Amino acid sequence: MNRRDFFKQTTLFSIGGLLIPSAFIESCRKEALFDEINYGGKVIIIGAGAAGLYAAYILKSKGINFQILEASSKYGGRLGKLTGFANFPIDLGAQWLHGQNNIVADLTRKSRTQITLDDSTEKYWFNNQLVTSLPKDILSLFNREDNLPDTSFKDFALQEGFGNEYKYIVEGIAGDSGAAASQISAYWKVKEEENWNSGDDDFKFQESYFDLIDKEIASSVNDKILLNTIVSKIDYSESQIIITDANANTYTADKVIVTVPISILKSGDIQFVPALPVDKTVAFSKIGMGAGMKVFLKFSNTFFDQNIIGGTICAAYADDSIGKAQSDNVLLAFVMGEQAEYLTALGSDAAITTALLQELDLMYNGQASATFIASHVQNWTSNPFVKGAYSYSTVGMGDARRIATQSISKKLYFAGEAMNINGHHQTVHGAVETGYREVINILNDLNK
Amino acid sequence: MRAILLFCFLIIGCSRSSAQELRIEASYEYLYSVQLDKAIQTYNFSRPFLAEKQPLLVNGIGTSISYVFKNANHFKHGISLTYTYFRSSAENDFFNNTLNLHFAKIGYILHYGNTEKWKGFYSDLTFSATSSIILRNVNGEPFVYDETSSKALGIGGQLQLKFGHYFHLKNTSYLSPFISFGYTPYLYCPNDEAVINQTKGVVGDNWTSTATGQVGVAFHIRKPTND
């Protein structure tokens, strides 16, 4: 064999030796998650919030038959928009995009949606005066990653020497996580968020969060939404799942994705036949869902600071015009936990507004009442299809969220912000992730 | 950087003492990683709003420099420094997403070859410490959030088997086409999913394994020896 032949053979051997195994691997290798999606069954999605809408959006993109049953008269779940109150759209529900490293942020980039970093500053209502900083650093207390006990924020703060003067500061911190300080676990909050990778910066929408989901997602599936359809029973005892609504109408499906808030699952508003396994219902009960409301107060001038933490009536106020194109003077009272329960018990929007104005008058020497124009109360707790703000990590929670998420009999699937087990619960992008995750789970189960 | 400097010192040291052969390689590399595939597949599945799908990280280019030490018998040993680069880019309206995957490896080579029976042939078994980094670019710029570039680091170990054949060029220089197969059983890369799919724990574990195939050509400079 001469050198030329040898070189030729060696080259052929080398290329062939690589390409044959490569071709074999390539033939096994899939560009898509699923080779082919030929599912002729029907999927019914209960709830038209972010998770339900996104699950529907994915199903539509894969050509799978679906329908959405929504209890209320509008879609969006805990996303909502109020127009006409101010010269910019008001976010009635979720309003911050939490971080830029997530699927919703990708959607904002693709759709060129205007978002602005919320770098507003805070003042604290502490010992009956507004201060720019606190004597002791309590903010980092709950962000510690080690030696956190499974006790409530309230008890943990007391253990660490933060006395009664910090009570409403702690309520404000807990309220940011949708809970009363006496309910949320210092340990499980950090533990559950250890996979958080979305980013720490918060962004506000120039329009509204609802607009983004409405224009980019809901608009392609809203013809499949049945509004005012209150699901009362899901019978999955037979091969076909039968869903019954409050008007005794029935709907059949092969798979059901339940995306209702955890409060609805906890309260038993939906009857499952057969009953859900005990470990499932116990898991539901361990996931917290606190009271929450947003009150928008419009004034003739801006006498207030960008954020006020530690009020005794409302532990967190925020200037709602930040990040908006227009600048009417709207202050958001972000009321959570026991404070939301207290204000709800006052019985009327007028009483709630009065209580908040009195507190602001105390902080700002009567300027609130003097410049007050109008208010709008969005009480998510009194909404019968929501019954609260968002899920939180309770004391003794354990892996409740993981158990709650597991599908049942390859028929029932669970999505929604409370069902996010990768640290993104409480967020819209977390809900969206569960929406596509459950479609993947359905398709995986079909392929098994 | 320290690793590169250390390697350079090793090369100089070897050259001045007992090193026999300097090798510079260029290659095409094919990558197969279940975990990376799954992360990209999930990214594509979950984003119907992106018409152009993200290609899998498959095709890469690599370069390597290595030194084989002098030894009287057909078994020799050496060291190598390897770099490979993979890219996946999808261009959509207003949203161009690019993933850049870099591997750097420092390896120990067991070299066998040029026997009477298999004149000109050689084989290398290389054990490498592998490090990887995945970087994300959005619209041509490094993707930065919280004032930090989006990146995922990985570390693991690779076993690589290489076959080649020397062709004498002139004096002490040779050229050899080669083929190689690599396997990284464990590459610890906890943030790969966070960069690719922007989630953690949805797609899978904190580690992956990779298999690679390479074809390439190596340029050799040898000190004159008896073999």
Q: Is B224 on the interface with A (CB under 8 A)?
A: no
What average pLDDT score do residues B61-73 get?
89
Predicted pLDDT at A26? 58
Instruction: Please state the domain extents for chain A.
Output: 42-77+209-287+400-447, 120-200+291-379
DSSP calls for A30-47: -SSSSS-----SEEEEE-
B200–A423 CB contact, under 8 Å: yes
The answer to whether residue B18 is domain-embedded is: yes
pLDDT band at B87 (very low <50, low <70, confident <90, very high): very high
pLDDT in the model for residue A73:
97
In the chain, the amino acid numbered A418 is A
Interface test with B, best of A22, A57, A101, A203 (most B CBs within 10 A): A101
Q: Which residues of B22-58 are buried (b: 16+ CB within 10 A; e: fewer)?
A: bbebebebbbbbebbbbbbbbbbbbbbbbeebbebbb
Rounded to whole angstroms, the Cα distance separating B136 from B98 reads: 6
Which residues in A146-213 belong to E strands, given as ranges?
Answer: 202-205
Sort out which chain B residues have CB atoms less than 8 A from A23's CB and list them: none
pLDDT of residue B12: 56
Weakest mean pLDDT among A107-116, A338-347, B42-51, B203-212: B203-212
Q: How confident is the model at residue B8 (pLDDT cuts 50, 70, 90)?
A: low
Nearest to A443, CA basis, from A45, A56, A54, A39 = A39
The residues in B 29-68 lying below 8 A from A, measured between CB atoms, are: 30, 32, 37-38, 41-42, 44-50, 53, 55-56
Q: In the predicted model, what is the mean pLDDT of chain B?
A: 90
Say whether residue A447 is in contact with chain B using an 8 A CB cutoff.
no
Cα–Cα distance for residue pair A334/A292, rounded to 1 Å: 8
Selected residue of A7, A18, A215 to mutate for chain B interface (largest B Cβ count, 10 A): A18
Total structural domains in chain B? 1
Q: In which domain, by residue range, is B78 found?
A: 2-222
H/E stretch holding A407: none
Per-residue confidence (pLDDT) for residue A368, from 0 to 100:
98
Would residue B106 count as lying in a domain? yes
Q: Are the Cβ atoms of B32 and A110 closer than 8 angstroms?
A: no
Q: Render each residue's pLDDT in chain A as its tens digit; 448 residues.
A: 455 555 555 555 555 555 555 555 555 677 788 888 889 999 999 999 999 999 999 999 999 999 999 999 999 999 999 999 999 999 999 999 999 999 999 999 999 999 999 999 999 999 999 999 999 999 888 888 777 999 999 999 999 999 999 999 999 999 998 899 999 999 999 999 998 999 999 999 999 999 999 999 999 999 999 999 999 999 999 999 999 999 999 999 999 999 999 999 999 999 999 999 999 999 999 999 999 999 999 999 999 999 999 999 999 999 999 999 988 999 999 999 999 999 999 999 999 999 999 999 999 999 999 999 999 999 999 999 999 999 999 999 999 999 999 999 999 999 999 999 999 999 999 999 999 999 999 999 998 7
Of A81-85, A216-220, B149-153, B166-170, give the lowest mean pLDDT range: B166-170
Judging contacts by C-beta atoms under 8 Å, the chain B residues touching residue A106 are 47, 49-50, 95, 97, 198
| Cβ contact A103–B194 (<8 Å) | no
Nearest CA in chain A to B59: A22
A141, A145, A149, A151 alpha-carbon torsion, rounded to 10°: 60
- d(C-alpha B209, C-alpha A24), whole Å: 18
How confident is the model at residue A18, as a pLDDT? 53
Fold of A42-77+209-287+400-447: FAD/NAD(P)-binding domain (3.50.50)
Q: What pLDDT does B227 receive?
A: 43
Q: How many CA atoms lie within 13 A of A377 on its CB side?
A: 20
CATH of domain A120-200+291-379: 3.90.660.10
Global ipTM? 0.92
Q: Which of A277-281, A386-390, B9-13, B39-43 has the lowest mean pLDDT?
A: B9-13
Residue where the block lists tokens 């959005």: B138
Q: How far is B205 from chain A (nearest CA, A)?
A: 12
pLDDT for B15: 53
- Report the pLDDT averaged over residues B48-53: 97
Mean pLDDT over residues B86-98, rounded? 97
User: In this complex, how many residue pairs, one in chain A and one in chain B, have their CB atoms less than 8 Å apart?
Assistant: 122
- Residues B49-73 have a mean pLDDT of 92
- Residues A255 and A236: their CA atoms lie apart, in Å, by 9
Q: Which residue has the tokens 């904002």?
A: A108
Task: Inform me whether the pLDDT recorded for B135 exceeds 50.
Answer: yes
d(CA B43, CA B47): 6
Nearest chain A residue (CA) to B33:
A29
Question: Which domain CATH number covers B18?
Answer: 2.40.160.20
Helix and strand element counts for chain B (H, E):
3, 12
Say whether pTM exceeds 0.95: no
Tell me, yes or no, whether B32 lies in a domain.
yes
Name the minimum distance, in Å, from the CA of A18 to any CA of chain B.
Answer: 6
Look at residue B174 and tell me if it is in a domain.
yes
- To the nearest 10 degrees (0 to 180), the angle between helices A349-363 and A337-345 is 120
**Within a domain: residue B227?**
no
